[in-house]
Amino acid sequence: MSAPLLQLRGVHTHIGAYHILHGVDLDVPEGEVTMLLGRNGAGKTTTLRTIMGLWPASQGSVSFRGEGLAGLPVPDVAQRGIAYVPENMGIFTDLTVQENMLLAARGARHAAQIDRARLDWIFGLFPALQKFWLYPAGKLSGGQKQMLAVARAIVEPRALLLIDEPSKGLAPSIIQNLIRAFGELKRQRSTILLVEQNFLMARALGDRVAVMDHGRVVHSGPMSELAADEAMQQRLLGLSLGVHQ
Amino acid sequence: MPNRLLERTLSHDLPRSRWLALLLVAIFVALALAPVMLPGSKALGVAAKMLVFILLVASYDLLLGYTGIVSFAHTMFFGIGAYGVAIASTRLGAGWASVGIGVALALAASLVLSLVIGLFSLRVKAIFFAMITLAVAAAFQTLASQLSDFTGGEDGLTFRNPEWLSPAFEAFGFDGRHFSYWLLFVVVTLVFLALLRMVNSPFGRVLQAIRENDFRAEALGYRVVVYRTLSNVVAALVATLAGALLALWLRYTGPDTTLSFEIMLDILLIVVIGGMGTLYGAVIGSVLFVLAQNYLQDLLRLAAGAVEGVPVLAAVLTPDRWLLWLGVLFVLSVYHFPTGIVGRLRAWSSR
Amino acid sequence: MTTPASTAAPAAAPAPVPKARFDWIPLALLGGLMAIGLPAIGSPSTWLALTVAGLAMGLIVFIIASGLTLVFGLMDVLNFGHGVFIALGAYIATTVLAAMSGFTASPLLGMNLVAVFAAMVAAMTLAGAVGWAFERVIVRPVYGLHLKQILITMGGMIVGEEIIKVIWGPLQIALPPPEALRGSVFIGDAAIEKLRLLAVVVGLAVFAAMGWVLARTKVGLLVRAGVQDREMVEALGYRVRRLFVGVFVTGSALAGLGGVLWGLYQQSVTPQIGAQVNVLIFIVIIIGGLGSTLGCFVGALLVGVLANYTGFLAPKVALFSTIGLMVAILLWRPRGLYPVTNR
């Protein structure tokens, strides 16, 4: 098995006086979707933010393609090909959909320079974005904003996508939309680390799964294994299939 | 061994540093005995200015050092106090009654103004508040210059003091000026001790909690707006009192003795260099500042004489540019001595 | 600014929803103020002269304040020492114009403009350079610490003013306008000072340039996005810190330019010129909404026009009218005319 694209070893993170991550070990293999599951407060968001450099790791190593990321300023982490979709989506509400996309397209100086083919593909996944192209992003609905947030992350090819709870607060039909979109990304062999509370979505998309509790990864393995074992689901997540949709 | 009475007078807020204690005692004694020890009236004037600034800056420290609020309107309250006494003495004739009325009205005006400013602006971010106070103080200064019928405009008001405080009055070998000085001394000492009591009380501790983390204080159940407003009001009232004292001393009030922006900057300089959040910093800082203001220029004159002819140095070491050096000291203090002189002294002592 | 950059919408798509409606109310407010002014002042020619004077003053204040509001919006840094760049610009103008007395004494407008232009360029360059140093030495160490920022930038201003006194002396220096720019132009009955027209022209040019950069370039887009959510812009891979230095330097340069115009407007400069204008610019950026260029623009014009009207109608109330305006606007829109969301 080749070395994982992203590897965390013994990562601790402190926020002020709070010790959130207590030695996280995580492997994210290339070309697969890894789900990061766990109860509220387990440290999933903190893990993503630590990888991104938004909250510095106080201990441990974060390596991406063999290179250490810990201590790098956030823009440098992003420039290595890592895209981040935060829990609050990070949409610039005063800017139009077009401007949001242009910002994410580092290689383009004007909207016309955004890769046309790629944009068409994105419009295929999320037609609403094409419809509201010149509209201020703040006026979009919650689901549309989420689509924009994901679209921003894929408008240029990225080596790794870090996505935090995309389905939170969304209607089931929109979630289906998202699952379809992520499915396509999967088919294109994108590497995704996806934090999700929605187990349905997790089961549909995940190749591998890591479960966190109290700031540590307490289980990791193939998704199929966890999906088949209801006792393990209860033990690790406090729930079983069908709940928490 | 500090005795119990002393401890209680200082509200258990001891200097905590041998040097600081020594300095404070020396300053206290020197200021108390100034009329006796110091020859000329200039020296006595310097001492009186020190007293007024001690009170003015201490009240500002309550606001900035203990509550964490930056306000540029402090000179406005200073001016209200001074003008209150001046206008009353001018319109109602000299005497204790007019002084009393003037002070009372000034305090009332400050109370209302500080309440309004506090409740209106303290809900907003600190930066908004700072800017708004800047604007209000500027407006007030303009107002004072323009209502010349009332305030004497640019020229200000000269007036006479109550009999015992007039220079002509003599008793026990001292004249009215000396008694004015001692009045200042007593009032400043008492009010300073009261402030010390206040910041060491539960109220003071809540203020400090708010300064550190206002979210948490609110979460703990303290109405942050109320405490901030109270702090603002107390600081304003004490500043008003300081202004009244200044007016009594100078027997004159004008826009530049109290309302000018330079004085606001002086207050900031003193409170930062002296040590924010200590109250004693106001004492040390004021004394040093007033000394510098009056005698640093002489020092610079000497230095200028030494480097005469040297191009850049000569221009920069002239006595007129003393504020430059103070400004540099101020900037350095904010970085490197955030706790000011008092903090430094205390840090040395605890080693 | 809220006007979005526009390129052609993608073809063969569901018809795109039109751009969001622009918020006209604050601009209408300005128009309303100007309209009320006419009957209040009485004579149309006086009204015209005062309005132009007001717009000129407002545009100068806008030039100075625009940098400050972007600096705050982008990096949460409030530079209480912004006034020092104004003073620097004004003093440099005195030196340059004095040195180019051949050009300023000439009755040809063209020659005069060359001298004024040279003064502006010199002022902007030097103020920008000092701004770069100011950011490095004074501001950078105190990012995120508002209290220290206020204190230290004030300290920086004190030191800066004193250094200006060292170089140019502490006394007032006259700044007489060049030959062809003295006096007034007559439109009908109204006497409109030429210097004010110059200020209007320059001010509008700056506004247009700034608007273009913000709305149509990627850098401008980055600034607008950064004002809203700096962290996300960094997460998208851009070094906001460098952007910030650029905005700070530009803001300082603009303040220098504003200083030149202010000095010409007042026809003299003193070292306190910075502190005097400071109050005005703070009022303006509060009115406009911290971080909003358009708000700053409208706010500055409102303040300028109102100050000139009240200066004519009731001179003693001038500064109060400005504060009254600020209070009134804050009661209506507590975060300013065009609040930047997410702040």
CA distance readout (Å), B228 to A229, B210, B234, B264, B280? 58, 8, 10, 20, 22
Q: What is the predicted pLDDT for the residue at B2? A: 56
Lowest average pLDDT, out of A135-139, A219-223, B170-174, goes to: B170-174
Question: Which range has highest mean pLDDT (B11-20, B79-88, C109-118)?
Answer: B79-88
**Rounded-to-integer distance, Cα B284 and Cα B270, Å:** 9
Which of A54, A24, A69, A27 lies closest to A208, judged by CA? A27
For C155, the closest of B127, B135, B334 (CB atoms) is B334
Whole-angstrom Cα Rg for chain A:
18
Lowest average pLDDT, out of A98-112, B323-337, C43-57, goes to: B323-337
Beta carbons within 10 angstroms of residue C178's beta carbon: 26
Q: What is the pLDDT of residues A86-138, one digit of tens each?
A: 999 999 998 999 999 999 999 888 888 888 999 999 998 888 899 999 999 98
As a whole number of Å, the end-to-end CA separation of chain A is: 34
Higher pLDDT: C86 or C190? It is C86
Q: Cβ(B236)–Cβ(B77) under 8 Å?
A: yes
Q: Closest-CA residue in chain B for C276?
A: B138
B346 found inside a domain: no
Q: Cβ(C184)–Cβ(A65) under 8 Å?
A: no
Are residues C234 and A103, on separate chains, in Cβ contact within 8 Å?
no
Is a pLDDT exceeding 50 seen at residue C272?
Answer: yes
B310 found inside a domain: no
Q: Cβ(A164)–Cβ(A195) under 8 Å?
A: yes
Whole-angstrom Cα Rg for chain B:
21
Is a pLDDT exceeding 80 seen at residue C88?
Answer: yes
Which pTM was predicted? 0.82
Is a pLDDT exceeding 60 seen at residue C12?
Answer: no
DSSP-derived secondary structure for B33-91:
HHHHH--SHHHHHHHHHHHHHHHHHHHHHIIIIIT----S-HHHHHHHHHHHHHHHHHH
Whether the CA torsion A69, A75, A79, A84 is positive or negative: it is positive
Mean pLDDT of chain C: 85
Residues of B in contact with C79 (CB under 8 A): none
Residues of A in contact with C224 (CB under 8 A): 92, 94-95, 99
Q: Cβ(C85)–Cβ(C252) under 8 Å?
A: yes
Q: Cβ(B69)–Cβ(B63) under 8 Å?
A: yes
**Rounded-to-integer distance, Cα B301 and Cα A3, Å:** 73
Higher pLDDT: A96 or B135? It is A96
Q: What is the predicted pLDDT for the residue at B122? A: 62
Higher pLDDT: A24 or C75? It is A24
Is a pLDDT exceeding 50 seen at residue C111?
Answer: yes
**Rounded-to-integer distance, Cα B83 and Cα B55, Å:** 17
Q: Which helix (H) or strand (E) holds C147?
A: helix C146-168
% of chain B surpassing 70 pLDDT: 97
Q: What is the predicted pLDDT for the residue at C19? A: 58
Is a pLDDT exceeding 80 seen at residue B8?
Answer: no
Please report which confidence band the pLDDT of residue C271 belongs to, taking 50, 70 and 90 as the band edges: confident
Q: What is the predicted pLDDT for the residue at C15? A: 53
Q: What is the predicted pLDDT for the residue at B124? A: 67
Q: Which two tokens stand for residue A144?
A: 């549309």
Please report which confidence band the pLDDT of residue A245 belongs to, taking 50, 70 and 90 as the band edges: very low
**Would you list the domain boundaries of chain C?**
48-332
Q: Closest-CA residue in chain B for C168?
A: B315
Q: Is B323 on the interface with C (CB under 8 A)?
A: yes
For C165, the closest of B268, B321, B338 (CB atoms) is B321
Mean pLDDT across the stretch B32-48?
A: 81
Domain count within chain B: 1
Are residues B146 and C279, on separate chains, in Cβ contact within 8 Å?
no
> Distance, in angstroms, between B152 CA and closest chain C CA?
15
Angle between helix axes B224-250 and B96-121 (nearest 10 degrees) is 150
CA distance readout (Å), B171 to B167, B176, B178? 11, 8, 10
Q: Is A93 on the interface with C (CB under 8 A)?
A: yes
Which residues on neighbouring strands pair with residue A211, listed in sequence order? Answer: A37, A219
Q: Cβ(B42)–Cβ(B202) under 8 Å?
A: no
Q: Which helix (H) or strand (E) holds C172?
A: none
Q: Cβ(C57)–Cβ(C308) under 8 Å?
A: yes
- At residue B253, the 3 state secondary structure works out as strand
CATH architecture of A1-81+159-245: 3-Layer(aba) Sandwich (3.40)
Is a pLDDT exceeding 90 seen at residue B128?
Answer: no
Is a pLDDT exceeding 70 seen at residue A226?
Answer: yes
**CA A209 to chain centroid:** 13
Q: Which CATH number fits domain C48-332: 1.10.287, 1.10.3470, 1.10.357, 1.10.490?
A: 1.10.3470
Q: What is the pLDDT of residues C122-171, one digit of tens each?
A: 999 999 999 999 999 888 888 777 778 888 888 888 888 888 888 888 88
Higher pLDDT: C324 or B57? It is B57
| Residue recorded with tokens 């933010």 | A49
**Rounded-to-integer distance, Cα C195 and Cα C264, Å:** 7
Mean pLDDT of chain A: 88
Size of interface B-C (CB pairs under 8 A): 85
**Rounded-to-integer distance, Cα A239 and Cα A227, Å:** 12
Are residues C16 and A52, on separate chains, in Cβ contact within 8 Å?
no
Task: Give the list of residues 6+ apart from residue A49 with CB closer than 8 angstroms, or none.
Answer: A55, A86
Is a pLDDT exceeding 70 seen at residue C222?
Answer: yes
% of chain C surpassing 90 pLDDT: 30
Is a pLDDT exceeding 60 seen at residue C11?
Answer: no
Are residues A78 and C233, on separate chains, in Cβ contact within 8 Å?
no
Q: What is the predicted pLDDT for the residue at B3? A: 74
- CATH 3.40.50.300: which residues of chain A? 1-81+159-245
Size of interface A-C (CB pairs under 8 A): 109
DSSP-derived secondary structure for C293-332:
HHHHHHHHHHHHHHHHHHHHH-GGGHHHHHHHHHHHHHHH
Q: Chain B: list its partners (3+ Cβ pairs within 8 Å).
A: C
Q: What is the pLDDT of residues B94-112, one digit of tens each?
A: 788 888 999 999 999 999 9
Domain span at residue B214 reads 37-260
Q: What is the predicted pLDDT for the residue at C219? A: 93
For B139, the closest of C152, C282, C320 (CB atoms) is C320
Q: Taking a contact as any Cβ pair under 8 Å apart, which residues of chain A between 99 and 138 contact chain C?
A: 99, 102-104, 106, 109-112, 119, 123, 127, 130-136, 138
B230 found inside a domain: yes
Q: Closest-CA residue in chain B for C152?
A: B331
**Rounded-to-integer distance, Cα A72 and Cα A54, Å:** 10
Q: Cβ(A166)–Cβ(A150) under 8 Å?
A: yes
> Distance, in angstroms, between A242 CA and closest chain C CA?
34
Whether the CA torsion B238, B239, B245, B251 is positive or negative: it is negative
Are residues C146 and B131, on separate chains, in Cβ contact within 8 Å?
no
> Distance, in angstroms, between A54 CA and closest chain C CA?
8
CA distance readout (Å), B332 to A120, B325, C153, C156? 57, 11, 12, 10
> Distance, in angstroms, between A86 CA and closest chain C CA?
9
- At residue C13, the 3 state secondary structure works out as coil
Higher pLDDT: B127 or A243? It is B127
- At residue C30, the 3 state secondary structure works out as helix
Higher pLDDT: B148 or A240? It is B148
Higher pLDDT: B151 or A118? It is A118
Which of C119, C255, C244, C254 lies closest to C176, judged by CA? C119
Q: Taking a contact as any Cβ pair under 8 Å apart, which residues of chain C between 13 and 32 contact chain A?
A: 13-20
Mean pLDDT across the stretch A13-33?
A: 90
Which of C99, C69, C94, C93 lies closest to C82, judged by CA? C69
Lowest average pLDDT, out of A7-21, A72-86, B289-303, C256-270, goes to: B289-303
Residues of B in contact with C170 (CB under 8 A): 320
Mutate to test the interface with B, among C319, C321, C330, C335 (most CBs of B within 10 A): C319
Mean pLDDT across the stretch A46-63?
A: 92
CA distance readout (Å), A83 to A145, B232, B292, C97? 17, 48, 58, 53
Is a pLDDT exceeding 70 seen at residue C7?
Answer: no
Q: Is A95 on the interface with C (CB under 8 A)?
A: yes
Mean pLDDT across the stretch B147-156?
A: 79
Q: Chain C: list its partners (3+ Cβ pairs within 8 Å).
A: A, B
Q: What is the predicted pLDDT for the residue at C9? A: 44
Please report which confidence band the pLDDT of residue C289 belongs to, taking 50, 70 and 90 as the band edges: confident
Are residues B70 and C147, on separate chains, in Cβ contact within 8 Å?
yes
Residues in chain A: 245
% of chain C surpassing 70 pLDDT: 93
Mean pLDDT across the stretch B250-276?
A: 86
**Rounded-to-integer distance, Cα A213 and Cα A68, Å:** 25
Task: Give the list of residues 6+ apart from residue B168 with CB closer than 8 angstroms, or none.
Answer: B175, B176
> Distance, in angstroms, between C148 CA and closest chain B CA?
7
Mean pLDDT across the stretch C238-248?
A: 91
Q: Map chain A to HEC letters.
A: CCCCCEEEEEEEEEECCEEEEEEEEEEECCCCEEEEEECCCCCHHHHHHHHHCCCCEEEEEEEECCEECCCCCHHHHHHCCEEEECCCCCCCCCCEHHHHHHHHCCCCCCHHHCCHHHHHHHHHHCHHHHHCCCCEHHHCCHHHHHHHHHHHHHCCCCCEEEEECCCCCCCHHHHHHHHHHHHHHHHCCCEEEEECCCHHHHHHHCCEEEEEECCEEEEEEEHHHHHHCHHHHHHHHCCCCCCCC
Q: Cβ(A169)–Cβ(A117) under 8 Å?
A: no
**Rounded-to-integer distance, Cα B183 and Cα B273, Å:** 28
Which residues on neighbouring strands pair with residue B42, listed in sequence order? Answer: none
Residues of C in contact with B320 (CB under 8 A): 165, 170
| Residue recorded with tokens 């706790």 | B339
Lowest average pLDDT, out of B246-260, C20-34, C61-75, goes to: C20-34
Q: What is the pLDDT of residues A136-190, one digit of tens each?
A: 998 999 889 999 999 999 999 899 999 999 988 888 888 888 888 888 888 888 8
Please report which confidence band the pLDDT of residue C18 belongs to, taking 50, 70 and 90 as the band edges: low
Q: What is the predicted pLDDT for the residue at C24? A: 83
Q: What is the predicted pLDDT for the residue at C13? A: 47
Angle between helix axes C194-216 and C293-313 (nearest 10 degrees) is 160
